[in-house]
């Protein structure tokens, strides 16, 4: 062996290879002239929390990437990763340039030499971090980029992506027959997963599930790629939708924490995690806000109702039990306005009941309460008579059963059960001159119910909210129903859906082409 070969062997280089090891960052600094190295260190210190230009940073370490990528990947703990929480640094509480530690799951700001992620990598000996915005993975404190196929599942959990072909099968029988599995090998059905009740946000959880099972809205959010100046609420709602329908979850449940934090900010504290609220109020606010964020206007659309009003006139010859009626000879004011959902009134329960009647729950058919919109039935309020009728039928309709009434002392609940069909609810009587050969039948997608907590019977604050969600677009054996109450997800028989005290129903018009309206605004 020659003297040159002996020296190469002593330095640890392969005598048969012409590739030499590239010095590390600190070694390169030490090989540079002293003044130049000190100036470079000073510039990097000034960067502080802000990373160097990514292209420049990555180009420095690309030759080393293939060998270094395997050094710390075995320290990644997927069971500790949870990307559902708001992406803020656990130290500075900043939401700018955040990285997630793939060993312990904590969030830190930046990856520069004076950043919190850099300090965490040294003090806790955790070295693999993912950029929560770009999903790129880095090893600290060295700072080189890691590109390894084994990290693809982590990036997908952080930012799921969908294609038109994958979205088109979400309502098919094949989707119901192929469950997914989490890290614990627990089966779950994408789209029908539990949502954490962080404090008292179950009234918002049922609305989230109900809306994200409306196919046009669901498909629009799943196929979206909001990266620009879109409103933050819209981006977080789309991110939550992708997590709920993600077929590759690490845990078979999702926390809506990140979305609900933005709801709290956008609503100026009206809807909070720690305070029980009304799902109908939340639904109205959310639909209006999303409609505005998507560029919607106040122009007329297919959701319009006509209201006719007359002043109440008591005739001298009217009997004591005779109700006021519309008189064609008197002036009638007519107004047409858009609506988000149809609010219907329930008949009041009897005030006085004997011992036997107390065990009987009052019931009413849905057509009886929908008669409010037949254009004939009148309501008296504030000295005026009113009657309503829909102008046109929208492709999707939400019915609100008004169960809660307030008086000077307390808010009371009407326990009347509403009987309704799951399929083929006919709205023909409640719309003005429906076009010929157009269906007026609506099928049920979601049914939101509430139950009083044991020991209480009236107030809304002590209510448990549940959502019954239909799975599958066909009938018969292809159709399944799931009851979702926070983290509880159970398949139920159809007969169980009628037993709850419904407050909201989401229905869709039969023979309505959802493909042509995939990008329809709310």
Domains and CATH numbers, the chain: 73-156 (3.30.40.10), 160-293 (3.90.70.10), 304-314+323-350+360-516 (3.90.70.10)
Portion of the chain with pLDDT greater than 90, in percent: 40
DSSP state of 350: P
Over the chain, what is the mean pLDDT? Answer: 79
Asked if pLDDT for residue 58 goes beyond 60, the answer is no
What is the reported pLDDT for 42? 39
What is the reported pLDDT for 406? 75
What is the pLDDT confidence band of residue 241, given thresholds at 50, 70 and 90?
very high
The mean per-residue pLDDT over the stretch 417-422 comes to 91
What is the reported pLDDT for 228? 76
What is the reported pLDDT for 138? 93
Strand ranges (DSSP E) for 94-143?
98-101, 107-109, 128-131, 137-139
pLDDT tens column, 468-495: 999 876 555 667 899 999 899 999 998 8
Distance CA 136, CA 146 (A): 8
pLDDT tens column, 210-228: 999 999 999 999 999 887 7
Q: What angle do CA 266, 269, 274 make, to 5 degrees?
A: 120
| Both structure tokens of 514 | 């959802």
Asked if pLDDT for residue 51 goes beyond 80, the answer is no
Q: How many residues does the chain have?
A: 522
What is the pLDDT confidence band of residue 433, given thresholds at 50, 70 and 90?
confident
The mean per-residue pLDDT over the stretch 439-463 comes to 74
pLDDT tens column, 306-348: 888 887 776 665 555 556 676 766 778 888 888 888 999 898 8
SS3 2: coil
What is the reported pLDDT for 29? 34
What is the reported pLDDT for 511? 59
Q: What angle do CA 302, 305, 308 make, to 5 degrees?
A: 155
The mean per-residue pLDDT over the stretch 147-176 comes to 89
- Please state which of the ranges 233-242, 455-464, 470-479 shows the lowest mean pLDDT: 455-464
Is 229 exposed, middle or buried, given 0-12, 13-18 or 19+ CB atoms closer than 10 A? exposed
Asked if pLDDT for residue 92 goes beyond 80, the answer is yes
Distance CA 22, CA 391 (A): 75
Residue carrying the six token digits 């329930």: 346
The mean per-residue pLDDT over the stretch 394-404 comes to 90
pTM equals 0.79
Angle between helices 232-244 and 215-222 (to 10 degrees): 100
| Both structure tokens of 364 | 């009413």
Asked if pLDDT for residue 55 goes beyond 50, the answer is no
The mean per-residue pLDDT over the stretch 4-21 comes to 38
Distance CA 511, CA 522 (A): 19
Instruction: From 134, 94, 132, select the one nearest 115 (Cα to Cα).
Output: 94
Distance CA 509, CA 427 (A): 10
If you write DSSP's letter for every residue of 419-452 in order, what string do you get? E--SS-EE-GGGBSSPPTT---EEEEEEEEEEEE
> CA dihedral in degrees (117, 78, 233, 299; nearest 10)?
150
Mean pLDDT is highest, among 374-378, 450-454, 475-479, 511-515, for: 374-378
Asked if pLDDT for residue 294 goes beyond 60, the answer is yes
| Both structure tokens of 370 | 């929908």
Q: How far apart are the first and last CA of the chain?
A: 79
Asked if pLDDT for residue 451 goes beyond 90, the answer is no
Query: Which one has a higher pLDDT value, 80 or 510?
Result: 80
> CA dihedral in degrees (483, 485, 486, 489; nearest 10)?
-30
What is the reported pLDDT for 356? 57
Query: Which one has a higher pLDDT value, 509 or 447?
Result: 447
CB 386 within 8 A of CB 308: yes
pLDDT tens column, 61-84: 444 444 445 678 989 999 999 898
Distance CA 243, CA 182 (A): 13
């Amino acid at each position: 062996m020659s003297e040159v070969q002996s020296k190469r062997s002593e330095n640890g280089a392969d005598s048969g290879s012409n590739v030499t090891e590239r010095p590390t960052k600190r070694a390169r600094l030490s090989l540079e002239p002293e003044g130049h190295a000190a100036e470079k260190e000073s510039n990097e210190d000034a960067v502080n929390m802000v990373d160097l230009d990514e292209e420049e940073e990555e180009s420095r370490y690309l030759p080393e990437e293939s060998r270094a990528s395997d050094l710390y990947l075995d320290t990644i703990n997927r069971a500790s990763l949870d990307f559902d929480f708001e992406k803020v640094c656990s130290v500075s509480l900043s939401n700018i340039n955040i990285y997630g530690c793939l060993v312990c799951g904590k969030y830190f700001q930046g990856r520069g030499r004076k950043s919190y992620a850099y300090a965490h990598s040294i003090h806790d000996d955790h070295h693999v971090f993912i950029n929560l915005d770009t999903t790129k993975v880095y090893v600290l404190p060295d700072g080189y980029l890691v590109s390894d196929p084994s990290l693809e599942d982590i990036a997908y959990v952080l930012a799921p992506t969908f294609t038109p072909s994958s979205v088109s099968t979400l309502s098919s029988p094949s989707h119901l027959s192929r469950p997914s599995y989490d890290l614990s090998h627990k089966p779950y059905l994408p789209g029908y997963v539990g949502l954490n009740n962080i404090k008292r946000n179950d009234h918002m959880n049922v609305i989230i599930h109900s809306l994200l099972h409306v196919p046009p809205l669901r498909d629009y959010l799943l196929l979206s790629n909001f990266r620009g100046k879109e409103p933050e609420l819209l981006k977080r709602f789309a991110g939550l939708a992708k997590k709920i329908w993600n077929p590759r979850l690490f845990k078979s449940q999702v926390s809506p924490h990140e979305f609900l934090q933005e709801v709290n900010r956008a609503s100026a504290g009206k809807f909070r995690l720690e305070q029980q609220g009304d799902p109908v109020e939340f639904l109205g606010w959310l639909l209006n806000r999303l409609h505005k964020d998507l560029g919607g206007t106040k122009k007329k659309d297919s959701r319009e109702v006509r209201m006719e009003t007359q002043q109440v006139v008591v005739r001298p010859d009217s009997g004591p039990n005779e109700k006021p009626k519309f008189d064609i000879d008197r002036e009638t004011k007519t107004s047409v306005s858009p609506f988000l959902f149809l609010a219907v009134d329930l008949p009041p329960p009897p005030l006085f009941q004997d011992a036997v009647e107390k065990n009987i729950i009052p019931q009413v058919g849905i057509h009886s309460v929908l008669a409010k919109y037949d254009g004939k039935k009148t309501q008296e309020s504030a000295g005026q008579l009113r009657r309503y009728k829909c102008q046109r039928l929208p492709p999707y309709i939400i019915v609100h059963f008004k169960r809660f009434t307030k008086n000077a002392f307390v808010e009371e609940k009407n326990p009347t059960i509403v009987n309704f069909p799951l399929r083929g609810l006919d709205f023909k009587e409640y719309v003005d001159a429906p076009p010929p050969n157009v269906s007026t039948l609506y099928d049920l997608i979601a049914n939101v119910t509430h139950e009083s907590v044991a020991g209480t019977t009236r107030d809304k604050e002590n209510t448990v909210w549940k959502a019954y969600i239909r799975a599958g677009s066909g009938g018969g054996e292809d159709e399944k129903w799931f009851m979702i109450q926070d983290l509880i997800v159970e398949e139920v028989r159809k007969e169980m859906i009628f037993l709850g005290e419904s407050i909201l129903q989401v229905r869709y018009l039969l023979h309505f082409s959802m493909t042509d309206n995939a990008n329809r605004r709310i």
